[in-house]
Structure formats: structure tokens, C-alpha cells
A and B are shown apart, each in its own frame.
Chain A
Amino acid sequence: MSVIVILLLASISVAILFLLAFIWSVRSGQFEDDFSPPSRILFDNETSSQKPTKK
């Protein structure tokens, strides 16, 4: 019967992974600008390539 408990743990941990992904996406502002990313991907390979050097 303990197999059900293992299954339960497995399903919850998978669900938690998705929850964490959701929290990350909200925090990183992916729900704030729904215009730029889909347009940006259509530009030819030349958008800002340099990353800012963080100090």
C-alpha cells in the first residue's frame, strides 16, 4: 500500500516544480509585457547581443 504514498509524493513534487516555474515567471515579469517578446523573436539575429557587465 505504501506505493500510493510514493506516487503521491512523486505527483506532488512534479506539481511543485511547475508551481516554482510559475512563481519564477511571475517574478521575472513575464506577464507584464506581452508585446515585446513575440515581436523580438521575429527580428533577424541582430538585436542587442552584448550583455551588460554587472559589477
Chain B
Amino acid sequence: MVSSVTNSTICTHCGDLCTTKTIREGDHFFCCDGCKMVYEIIHESGLCNYYDLNKTPGIAQKNTVRSDKFSFLDESRIAEKLISFKDEYQTHIVFYLPQMHCSSCLYLLENLHRLHKGIVKSNVNFTRKEVDIVFENNTTSLRKVAEQLTAVGYEPYISLNDLKETRPGTDKSLLLKLGIAGFCFSNIMLMSFPEYLGINAAEAGIRNVFRIANAVLSLPVFLYAASPFFKSAWTGLQHRFLNIDIPIALAIIITFVRSFWDLFSGTGAGYFDSLSGIVFFMLAGRILQDKTYRQLSFDRDYTSYFPIAVSIVKKDKEIPTLLPEIKINDTLLVHHNELIPADGLLTKGKALIDYSFVTGETMPVVKEIGEMLYAGGRQTGGNIEILTLKEVSQSYLTNLWNKEKDSTNEKDNSFVHHVSKYFTIFVFVIAGFTAMYWSMHNTAKIWPAITAVFIIACPCALLLSNSFTNGHILTILAHNKFYLRKGEVLEQIAAIDHIVFDKTGTLTSAAEQEVKYEGEILNEIEKGQLAALASCSSHPLSKAIVAYLDVTDKPEVTSFKEYAGKGIEGYIDDRWIKIGAAGDNEELKNDTSVMLSYDENIKGTFYFSNHYRTHIPALLSQLKKEYRLSVLSGDNDSQKTELEKLMGTNATILFHQQPTDKLNYIKKLQDQGEQVMMIGDGLNDAGALLQSNVGIAVSEQANNFTPACDGIIAAGQLYLIKKFMKLCGANKKIVMASFIFSIIYNLAGLFFAVQGNLLPVIAAILMPASSISIVLLSFIASRFAARSMGLNILPV
């Protein structure tokens, strides 16, 4: 291990450790030629501010991009699907650049016009990680712009998803509604003061001006700002489901009508201030709860992973073709590191397919000519040709990902709706008794009393406590890198009793392997030779060996050969070194061992095993006390004993699980009445994530691609999941506590309402007082709950 940073050299561009000191430019060292090239480009254009703004801001360039990767952008039919605007002189294009991460990126990307002739302007939207580029048609082209971005390390991510007509925009209307409601609320309050302070009856003219102004100001609140509640109430009615928005919409309408009645009959000032105030607070709660994480996407389907175009080979010519236009019996050319877009037969080349993202197998598999290849695998060898058997949208795995979630799961069964149901019944009962009482004593008071009951007892307090508490908890979780799609997920998590884990990429880290060496002890020179040989290969096991040996000085390798799925060999310092599978007929598998031989003499063996993420064993031993656990692995069962030890005897551990098997397993559990949480990472879990009550995707980086899910958790935070679940459980208690607290205000109001003399001033004091105390209470309680669990909270 490298213990101190001082005696190791760090790449000026990307900050990776430099393994050699030969790649340099002046005082600057680089880890690879790619990084050096980017540095030179940036240096030549005088944009070195890039390196001053942040330390080592670059993106590692070790994986080179094929030079004709963007040739499909020259096809005008493909290009026109991507560009947002084009005229004779200029083109506007928006690229998605997932690599964007700091102000240096911003600086470089907004100075593209100095880097590349023909770019007129570039504008970055950092939260969306997009750059909007305007370029001149006669000086440059779409392809050249894309290649320039790639050359400086920001390869545009262009996927099949970009073909879709509409790009989801952020919804600004809720914010507008909040602003308008706030404006009306504050002005109505202001103009109601004379009324509250007891304006002289002699000044009736002025009083009426104020009242009419209030009524006018309440119109935008009622007609525009409150529309989300009416809409939701209407859908509830259509589905015959009594959601909380129905009594709220009812209360808003009653308040509005009653206020206008008061105004025209001259009996009072109306409740315009309470009306606009409650709408304002409820909108604020809704915005807090629906706070979106724009850098994340919870709804990705396979189209986000697939390229937009592939090369079809026709009469020895490569024709870039849009993916949906691929037909059966087309011959596709798939390059190194590209996804196979459709099921087909291998017709040319040697395939070494990495299915890890689709099936969960960690090691690439070798396929010979004539064998079937499934869409979603990644080719890791050279170029191959595939004869398509199915169209893209019909392929085995795309079909699976397209599966709709069972609609039975989607029902909005949040407990607030149930509570609101009883609450509504309670209100109707009180209103009924009030009406009965006044019909016997003073019939003139029936309607004022009933409407007042509805105004004061609207379940807004419940909605407010729910949305504000959800909002606070979501914010705390997001601060701990656990992002949930919406507030209802909190409740679903609290109800979970069975947790299903994926193994590869979730419990274990896909990138790392545990390496053990047995045999003759290697000296430093031999270690260097071995590392040099292994670093020629991109196979996961070779990478693991390089990482294990951890040497910086590597001699040169001559006549290097890689036998796909079997091993590698080469000459180093006149020695013939071989690393490979033990037997001639054996293939490399996961959790396997490879033999090392020098000049045909066997020296020793490397053993590999999965590397469990930090703290995972401790987490599992805690979880198994409170939840039923299962592990579904797409991998082979070589880890069985170790997993059994970790998961305990009650856990179900299944291997060789296909994506459909995982989905069916979740279904089976649900049929037994269990609430299932699925934690997975790849597309192989996509079906299971959708089917489960709560699907959580594990992501190495927050901006990485994750399948459709209810929540995304940073891989490093997975060990905290139990605490997060506890906090979700606390959520419900906090909602109920603040609701009960606010009922005190309601009861005080009801006291006046049933008597038929609810003065607007009383409503105007009770309403904001109850709202603000709910907001405060839920805020303090959620922070307290989070802190007592040892989670990070934002300082106030």
C-alpha cells in the first residue's frame, strides 16, 4: 500500500496515481497519454484556468474512444433527431455530459469557442449536466463538435432515449402557484387589518373597498393556485377513492362561496385571508415534499442504456442506422466496449461478452461463431458481427425491462388518506349535530354554523404535517446520499418486512476482487514483470492482479497474447510468462484461481473471491435480527458458504438467477403477503426493482446510470440502510404527533364554529398559528430523530 502521497506522483489532469514517470510535460506528470493529450489541448488554447480553479479536475482518459464512434452524427437523418434548432448558418444542440462535476468543467465547457473554431456559444446547465452549444454550419459539424468534447474528456452521452420526442422539463407551475398564493395571502392579510382592529361603522365606504379588494385578490388563489388540489380531488372521485384532497377541495370551495356570500349580503368580511393562507402553506408543503433531484433519474428504461445508432454492414460498407430501424436479418457491427442492441447470432469475430449489468455474472463469457448473443451484453474483445434475429424492442431482455409494474402496487395507500376518511366522517357528524341544534333554536344560524365547521375542520393540518414531515425526512436522507423518488416511499419503507439483496454490485463491489496468492514467493523484479503482463489485458482478473501487486516500475512486454476466457502470455525480460486457467479445457470463471508459470514452470496460484463492501457483514448481522433476508445472485454458487455465514440460517440464498427468476421470486413473496424491498444495481434487477414494494438502486456515483426504481443509494452509504429504514419508521410518528398537536387549534376553532360566530379574525389567527407550529414541530422532530440515529443533518 502507498502510505503517503508525497512519494507518489499524481496525474495533473485526473488525479490518479501515476504508475510511471515517463509521461510528463514540464513539471506536470500524467497517468496516461490520454490525460496528457487533453492537457496539451487545453494548454494550447490558453485555458489553463481549468487546472487553477480545482485540483486535478479532469476525467481519466485510460479508456480511449474509437475514432469513428461519432460517425453516425454525419448522417443527417440521425443528426436531425438530436438537434434542437437549425437554420442556414447555425445549429443548436444540447449534449448530456455525465462527466461534468465541478466549476472547472463549467469553465472549460463555456469556453469551447476558444477551443474549437466554429462554436459560437456554449451554455451549461449544471444541475442537468447539459451543455447547449451553438455552432456555425460551414466551419464545423455536429460530429466534429462531439469529437472535440470527447477529446477534452467530456464524451457526450447519446442514447436511444434521446429519440423520444419530448424531453421532460422541470415543472415550474407549482413554484409560480406558490408565488401567486403568497402574494395574494400577504396582501389580503394586510388589507384585513382594518377589519380586525375594528374599523368604524361610519367608514363603511372604506371598509367595502378593502373587502372587495380582498375578494378580487382571492380569485387567482381559488382559480389558479388551488388547482392542484381540485385536480387531485377529481381523480380521486373518478377512481372512487376518498383521498385527502377531496375534503380539502370541499373546504376550499365552501370557504370561497361562504366568503362571497358574506361580502354580498354585507354580513361580514369573509375568510379570504384564511383561504389564501391555507393554500399557500399547502403548496409550500407540496413543493418541499416533491423536491426533485434533477441530477438523478428514477424512470430510466432500457432506452437510456442503448446507443442511438449502430453500424449495419451491407455489401462491405458500414452504414450507421438508427436503432429502431434495425430489421431482422441485418448484419450489425459491434465494436469493442459497445452494447449488443438486439438478440442475434454471432457471425464473425470472437465474442467475449460482459453480461454483468444484465445478468449479474461477474466474468465475461466467450461465445463462438454461430452462438446466440442477447441484447444488453457488452462486447469486450475486438469487433464482431451479429445477424439479428429479433428487433430491438422485441429482444428478450428489453421485453423484460418494458414490463409494467403490477398496477395493484401503485395504489395510493398512504395512511393519511385513511386518517382523513375518519376525520371527514367526524366533521360531517359535528356539522350534523350543529345543524340539528340550530334548527331547534335559531334557524338563521344553521348555514353560518355549518359552513364555519367545514372551514375550520378541513384536514389541511393533516396534509400539512404529512407533506412537511416527508419533506424534512427526504431532505435529511438526501443529505446522507439516499435519494427517494417521492414522500410515499417513506411509508412503504417503514412497512417492509423482507429485504432481498442482489449480490454482484450490491453486497459485493463489482470492480474489486479479493486476491490471494499461494506458491513460491515472488521477488520485486518478478512482481514487476507480472504486473506488466497483466496490465496488458483488460480482463477483470488481470486488473485485480495488477491492483494486488501494486508496483510502479513495469518492464516492457513483447509478443503479448490474450486467449479470450483462458489466459494471457508474453515475453518479459526474456522470460516466457503465462497466467491462465489451470486446465487446458477450463474456462476462467468467477471466484476461480489462475496458475502462474515462468518458462513453463508453475510458480503459484492466484485465488480470487468477491470483495464485500465495507461494513456489509456488520449490516447483515443487524438486519437479520429484524427482517427476513434473501440474496438473489446471477452468479455461480462458489460464494455459497461465505454468504450463508453472513446472512444467517434463516435467509434464502439463490444462485444462477435470471432476471425473470428474480422478478418471480419477488412476486412469490408478495403473494405470501410480504412487503418486499429489493436492493440491486444492474439492469438484471430492473424487473425485480419494479415489482418490489420498494426498489432501491445502488449506485457507485450519484450521477451514474441506475435502472428505474423508487430510491437511489450511494454505494458507500449502503451500510446505513438500517438507520435510514428506522428514520422512515419515525416519519409516521412525527406526522401523527404534529397532526394531533394541530387538532388542538381545530378544536378551539370548532368551539366558535358550532356556536355560529366564527369571526374571520379568529380563523385568521388560528390558521397560520396551526400551520406554522406544524412546520416547526415536524422540522425539529425530524432533525431530532435523525440526530439520535447518528445521521448527518444540515446545520440550520
Contact = CB atoms under 8 A, between A and B. Distances in A.
Interface string B113-155: 1100000111111111000001000000000000000000000
Nearest to B125: A33
B120 A32 contact: no
B128 to A, nearest CB: 7
A53 B90 contact: yes
6 contacts: A12-B187, A15-B183, A32-B125, A46-B114, A48-B110, A51-B121
B748 interface: no
Contacts of B209: 5, 8
Interface residues of B, number: 41
Contacts of A46: 111, 114
B111 A35 contact: no
Contacts of A29: 172
B286 to A, nearest CB: 16
Contacts of B90: 52-53, 55
A42 B210 CA distance: 48
A3 to B, nearest CB: 10
B235 interface: no
A39 B113 CA distance: 19
Interface of B: 49, 53, 87, 89-90, 92, 103, 106-107, 110-111, 113-114, 120-128, 134, 170, 172, 175-176, 179-180, 183, 186-187, 190-191, 203, 205-206, 209-210, 213, 294
Contacts of A33: 125-128
A55 B87 CA distance: 8
Nearest to B134: A52
Given A26-B176, A52-B90, A52-B121, A47 B110 contact: yes
Interface in A1-17: 1, 4-5, 8, 11-12, 15-16
Give the most central of B90, B106, B170, B210: most A CB within 10 Å: B106
Nearest to A38: B103
Contacts of B122: 48
A19 to B, nearest CB: 5
Contacts of A55: 87, 89-90
A5 B111 contact: no
Interface of A: 1, 4-5, 8, 11-12, 15-16, 18-19, 22-23, 26-27, 29, 31-36, 39-40, 42-44, 46-48, 50-53, 55
A12 B107 CA distance: 42
Contacts of B175: 26, 31
A46 B134 CA distance: 18
A51 B183 CA distance: 35
Given A18-B183, A48-B121, A55-B90, 6 more contacts: A5-B206, A15-B183, A35-B106, A39-B107, A53-B89, A53-B120
Nearest to B126: A35
Contacts of B190: 11
Contacts of A47: 107, 110-111
A23 B170 contact: no
B125 A19 contact: no
B123 A48 contact: yes
A35 B124 CA distance: 10
B167 to A, nearest CB: 13
B172 A27 contact: yes
A42 B87 contact: no
Contact of A36 (B126, B183, B210): B126
Give the most central of A1, A16, A29, A33: most B CB within 10 Å: A33
Given A8-B213, A33-B127, A52-B134, A42 B103 contact: yes
A17 to B, nearest CB: 11
A11 B186 CA distance: 12
Nearest to A46: B111
Contacts of B172: 26-27, 29, 31
B196 to A, nearest CB: 16
A2 B206 CA distance: 8
A15 B220 CA distance: 15
B639 to A, nearest CB: 42
A8 B121 CA distance: 47
A51 B89 CA distance: 14
A22 B178 CA distance: 11
A4 B206 contact: yes
Given A35-B127, A48-B110, A43 B120 contact: no
Contacts of A50: 113, 120-121
A8 B120 contact: no
A51 B123 CA distance: 11
Contacts of B210: 8
A36 to B, nearest CB: 5
Contact of A19 (B107, B114, B183, B205): B183
Nearest to B183: A19
B106 A39 contact: yes
B116 to A, nearest CB: 12
Contacts of B106: 35-36, 39-40
A48 B131 CA distance: 13
Contacts of B53: 43
Contacts of A19: 179-180, 183
Given A33-B128, A52-B134, A43 B49 contact: yes
Give the most central of B89, B114, B183, B191: most A CB within 10 Å: B183
7 residue pairs, one from A and one from B, having the closest CB atoms:
A35-B126, A39-B103, A36-B126, A19-B183, A22-B179, A52-B134, A33-B127
A39 B127 CA distance: 13
A32 B176 contact: no
B642 to A, nearest CB: 43
Contacts of B179: 19, 22-23, 26
A8 B192 CA distance: 12
A3 B210 CA distance: 13
Given A15-B183, A27-B172, A36-B126, A52 B206 contact: no
Contacts of B49: 43-44
Contacts of A23: 176, 179-180
A46 B535 CA distance: 42
Given A8-B191, A26-B175, A26-B176, A43 B127 contact: no
Nearest to A49: B113
A5 B203 CA distance: 12
B113 A48 contact: yes
Contacts of A4: 206
A32 B203 contact: no
Given A39-B103, A50-B120, A1 B206 contact: yes
A16 B87 CA distance: 39
A50 B685 CA distance: 48
Contacts of A53: 89-90, 120
A6 B687 CA distance: 65
Nearest to B130: A33
A2 to B, nearest CB: 9
Contacts of B103: 35, 39, 42
